[in-house]
Chains A and B, each alone.
Chain A
Amino acid sequence: MSATVQVPALPSVPTRRLRQVVTREEWLMRGLIALTGLWLVISVVLPLGQIVWRSLLDRNGTFVGLENYRTYFTTPALATSFYNSLYISTVTTVVAVALGYLYAYAISRTAMRGKGIFRVIAMLPLYAPSLVHAIALIYLFGNQGIVTTGFFGTLSRWLGTPVRLDIGLYGPVGIILGEIIYCFPQAFLILAVAFTVTDARLYEASTALRGSRLRTFFTVTLPGIQFGLISASFVCFILAFTDFGVPKVVGGSYNVLATDIYKQVIGQQNFTMGSTIGIVLLLPTVIAFIVDRIAQQRQVALLSSRAVPLTPKPDRVMDTLATVYCSVVATAVLLVLGTAVFASLVRVWPYDFTLTLRHYEFRGVAGGYSSYWNSVRMAAYTALYGTAVVFLSAYLVEKGRGFGWGRQVIYFLSILPVALPGLVLGLAYIFFFNIPSWRVGNYLILNPLNSLYGTMTILVMSNIVHFYTVSFLAATTALKQMDAEFEAVGASLSVPFYRTFWRVTVPVCLPTLLEIAMYFFVNGMVTVSAVIFLYSPALKLASVAVVNMDDAGQTASAAAMSILIVVTCLAARLLYSVATYGIQRRTQAWRTR
């Protein structure tokens, strides 16, 4: 007899789709997904909701609808800042993208020498708060600046007539110059990537078809990097539009949105108008963010995995031009940073140029080394917890099972923070964490997170959220590159997912994890915008100390503190390179490149 197994058959017309049994392991995964969702709701959704709500209330807390926005745009003093901000960011974007484009082109498409050093120099401004560039500009072009005074009268003595080269730094000129230095490395980085992903075979085809240089440029080069250009433009625009450091230092009486928020909130304690301006600041970034996302999605189809990287051929004219151009730009970058270093080392600018380290002692200055170490601790915590949270959430979205809609929500909320300017985020955090309780109808809901206000925790939290998206996307990319069936193999061998995560996913993604940690650390060190509303007198930070020293006229100390920050970031970067090199060496047996 054939042994037919006796198993009760299902009812002939089942009403519902089958669902799998939820095991303990699956519950664990769902719990983690729910926790990640909860974290994003607390750190992103609720604070953001609070700031939007606040902009709809008047100063007494009565609901006034869009009245604040009407007031904003009909008050000339305020509305002017909006147009000023638009002007500054537009000019900055055009110049920074053009400079970045040529620089990236020179590095990826010519055979000039010294590409490595040019690349390093171009990225240096990334390791400094935007304030540093502004402070350096003051030393170069300010009232007592090197250039303004014609090298402290040297030029006058040579020519025999008084020479004063005043470019009118304080105001739009200074802001734009500062923002260009601040945005240039970002534009360069994005465009350099766009140039390297272009397929060499397309150029070969164009040459084979006897296309002219110009024709090749319009049919191959431009389409290949158009999305890079769009991306770079939006990033520069957002950075310049929302930056606080540069206009704070060299803005003079020229108002922009970012400084307005600060003045309204810190100066006048007008939280209502502060949040209204915050939302106004948010709108262009949100629009830019959406357009950029759409552009990026269309780009995917353009790239094929079989693309052949382009190796530029030597061309004397082009290579010379490229070298000259890059040298000029690199010199400018070095000059700005070098000026800051120099200024921090001279006794009394511009009268006594003996070198001294006394500005690094921060005597008689509010917030010295304690601020510095607070910043280092904050940046380290941000790197540690930020990397863990970001990687886990990216893993759950990419490789998780169950809770499909929940994972979609987590993805959206992880992408959202890139559109939040630091100032808006900081303001939202004050509103949300400062409120002891909410009144909903007749009930009073106590805010359990109120105790976080003014602590290290809230600073770290705001930093993690501020730099969430870029890290999240990096983690997602790394996870996507892993074989999609690793989890299935693990399940087939009855190995729980967390074991496969720990033994395979984390080791394979280790280089990306380090990269994310480095990114979090550097940004935690240099950021001003989000934390300026959140630090407490007992917990001052280095970057904020730079703002305050500059405010108090202690510019040399401000420069010294800035240099400390830059050196720390470069040290972190060096540590990262060493660690990456070590990992690469230890794992080269299995890591195929």
Chain B
Amino acid sequence: MSSQPQTYLEVRGVTKTFGRFVALENIHLTVEQGEFVCFLGPSGCGKTTLLRIIAGLEIQDRGQIIQDGRDVSRLPASNRDFGIVFQSYALFPNLTAAENIAYGLHGKGMRRDAINARVEELLALIGLSGSGGKYPAQLSGGQQQRIALARALAPSPTLLLLDEPLSALDARVRAGLRNEITQLQRRLGVTTIMVTHDQIEALTMADRIVVMDHGHIVQVGTPLEVYQRPASPFVADFVGAMNFLRAHATGPRQVRCGPAILSLNGHTPPLTPGAPVRLSIRPEDVHPQPWQEGSDLPANTLLGDLEDVEFLGATYRLYLRLRELPGEERTPPFLVDLAAGAARRLALDGLRELAGRPWMLHLPPDLLQAYPDETVSAPVRRSP
């Protein structure tokens, strides 16, 4: 059936070492036809190496790359079908924008007027019609990167590789170009792989995110999946902000965290009672309420003292110190994000006078996640 996704690219068991450093270890991955995939991870996680191996700019020690049904594992870059855009743009400085775009079209049996027509078409596509005669040095960073994109797309490759294409640009240009690239990709339907260390880029642009760490793939999923159900504390921490709490399982769906009993009914697999766990919840998922000293606490609620409030424009970020948690003074503060409207309703405008006041922090059971805590070896038992 035609509606079914077609596998376009397949990475099978790819391993790469540089001397003793293992850059990639046994990587398996499939990319569908027309998909936009992001490799996301901190620097040194192997994402760029994997991209360069897919391009043929590096050769893997072991494993296969299957592109469009063809085993290209051992082919050099010039014999593969892809276009690439680098962080540095790598535009040829002595050639005009048009000559840069036409660079890959010469010597392929194309007639000169056909080449010119194609260059015009691409200039129009990236919204730079009329700038073809300019040299890269006469163009802004964002314009240069769009020329680089057009140059990569000129020979109509079936695979587009983007190596941190937006990292060298300033924030405003970056946001605009993020949109443009995504729309262009949708329109052309070209299978695209982008390497980035910027989670916002990955979340906004990709159909699927491949999170990598230390030469391994740690999670593959849609932006929503990766954000809402991170597969590990590493992913949770790397993508977006996240609060972590130490706790012990008291039941398959229940944990004890300090004095409080918290229940979860989310997507966490059933817990082993007594096992140490790490709880996580995003700052925006917490519901804060001022607390009157001595009043009853609702279910799934922790107590914290407000230490600082940060105004971020559309949101407020609250920094709290949780009460009655062992070792709490050594951990980073607990974060709560509040939309500006909600903050007004809570009379947070007065901000700093509120410092030192106690707050109730409600943690919704379906947004609370638990991971096995690998940093604690033996469970510490306490009577409930």
Contacts and interface: CB of A to CB of B under 8 A. Distances in A.
B36 interface: no
Contacts of A507: 94
B79 A21 contact: yes
Given A7-B66, A488-B57, A2 B6 contact: yes
A485 B86 contact: yes
Nearest to B8: A5
Interface residues of A, number: 41
Contact of A496 (B70, B78, B82): B78
Given A5-B69, A18-B62, A18-B73, A504 B90 contact: no
Interface residues of B, number: 53
Contact of A590 (B12, B78, B94): B94
A208 interface: no
Interface string A1-28: 1111101111000100111110101100
Interface in A469-483: 483
In terms of DSSP, what is the predominant structure of the interface of chain A? loop
* Most B Cβ at <10 Å: residue of A18, A484, A493, A508: A493
Interface string B98-115: 000001101110000000
A579 interface: no
A25 B75 CA distance: 12
A575 interface: no
A504 B95 CA distance: 8
A484 B90 CA distance: 8
A495 B76 contact: no
Contacts of B12: 9-10
B126 interface: no
Contacts of B152: 492-493
B151 interface: yes
A156 to B, nearest CB: 67
Interface string B27-56: 000000000000000000000000000011
A137 to B, nearest CB: 48
A494 B154 CA distance: 12
A590 B134 CA distance: 9
B93 interface: yes
B77 A495 contact: no
Contacts of A492: 55, 77-78, 82-84, 104, 152, 161
Contact of B78 (A19, A23, A486, A589): A23
A493 B137 contact: no
A27 to B, nearest CB: 11
B74 A494 contact: no
B291 interface: no
A282 B320 CA distance: 73
A591 interface: yes
A299 interface: no
B62 A590 contact: no
B77 A10 contact: no
A25 B78 CA distance: 9
13 contacts: A3-B7, A8-B71, A9-B12, A17-B62, A18-B61, A18-B62, A21-B74, A25-B78, A485-B90, A491-B76, A492-B152, A494-B104, A504-B92
A19 B86 contact: no
B270 interface: no
Nearest to A5: B69
Contacts of B108: 494
A3 B82 CA distance: 22
B155 interface: yes
Contacts of A23: 76, 78-79
Contacts of B135: 589-590
B95 A7 contact: no
Contacts of A490: 78, 103
A221 B92 CA distance: 39
Contacts of A268: none
B88 A18 contact: no
A5 B66 contact: yes
A488 B77 contact: yes
Interface string A25-63: 110000000000000000000000000000000000000
